[in-house]
Structure 1
Amino acid sequence: MTQRTFDTYEDFWPYYVAMHSRAATRWIHLTGTLSGLAVSAYGLFSGRRRYLLGLPLIGYGTAWPAHFLIEKNNPATFGHPAWSLRGDAQMIRMMLAGRDAELAEIAAKWLAENGRLSGG
């Protein structure tokens, strides 16, 4: 599949959310990212440097299988790593603020306009 390109993060954001169209995927991302952050924070404050790997290992280790198994797409990280990291942080902030339904609406709108595509 041809990789999608975007000129700005604002153009990328609805696509990123659409690649997380199912609530289960979003909640797995949230759980993995927050768990990874907790393990990394422990490593930082305890001086146990190996635990700093918690964020990338636990975060990606839980998120990527959700794309393959639940969404049936490729993680947007593969084609847009920096914007995907920013998108993940924005998505998690919105979820923690109780705005998951808004994310579902953004995803549904993008998919209705563009069709279901694999990540990229």
Structure 2
Amino acid sequence: MSGFASFREFYPFYLGEHSDVNCRRMHFAGSTLVLAVIALAVTTGHLAWLWLVPVAGYGFAWVGHFAFEKNRPATFRHPLYSLMGDWVMYWDVLRGRVKL
């Protein structure tokens, strides 16, 4: 049981776990790199590059949590909602709803 009835209920908690701007920047950088790696792998046909997707995504995010936020990543307790939260926050940054 996740402790949250829905993602809508989880997302404010998720944002609270990312209150440090440097942590959010690390998440944004990692997610941007994930998209770049996927685009590179697909356009070149070298799908072996896809192994870098979790390294880039989680690596940057976890550095953000351990170095700046000083908390444990939500992905350890809420993996699916956390993954969804990463991309919703990414989109919210692009739309100016979350500041970097």
Length-normalised TM-score, structure 2: 0.90
In structure 2, what residue type is equivalent to 1:41? A
Secondary structure class of the residue paired with 1:100: coil
The answer to whether 1:20 aligns with 2:18 is: yes
Instruction: Quote the residue 1:57 is aligned against.
Output: 55
How far does residue 13 in structure 1 lie from its aligned partner after superposition?
A: 0.6
Secondary structure class of the residue paired with 2:91: helix
In structure 1, what residue type is equivalent to 2:14? Y
CA RMSD of aligned residues (A): 1.6
How far does residue 48 in structure 1 lie from its aligned partner after superposition?
A: 0.8
Instruction: Quote the residue 2:68 is aligned against.
Output: 70
Q: In 2, distance between residues paired with 1:73 and 1:98?
A: 25
Q: Which of structures 1 and 2 has the bigger CA Rg?
A: 1
Unaligned runs of 5+ in 2: none
C-alpha contact 2:38 2:53 (8 A) present in aligned 1? yes
How far does residue 80 in structure 1 lie from its aligned partner after superposition?
A: 0.9
Secondary structure class of the residue paired with 1:39: helix
Instruction: Quote the residue 1:110 is aligned against.
Output: none
Unaligned runs of 5+ in 1: 105-120
C-alpha contact 1:37 1:54 (8 A) present in aligned 2? no
The answer to whether 1:6 aligns with 2:4 is: yes
Q: In 2, distance between residues paired with 1:77 and 1:51?
A: 23
How far does residue 55 in structure 1 lie from its aligned partner after superposition?
A: 2.1
Q: In 2, distance between residues paired with 1:55 and 1:96?
A: 20
| Runs of 4+ with >2 A deviation | none
C-alpha contact 2:26 2:63 (8 A) present in aligned 1? no
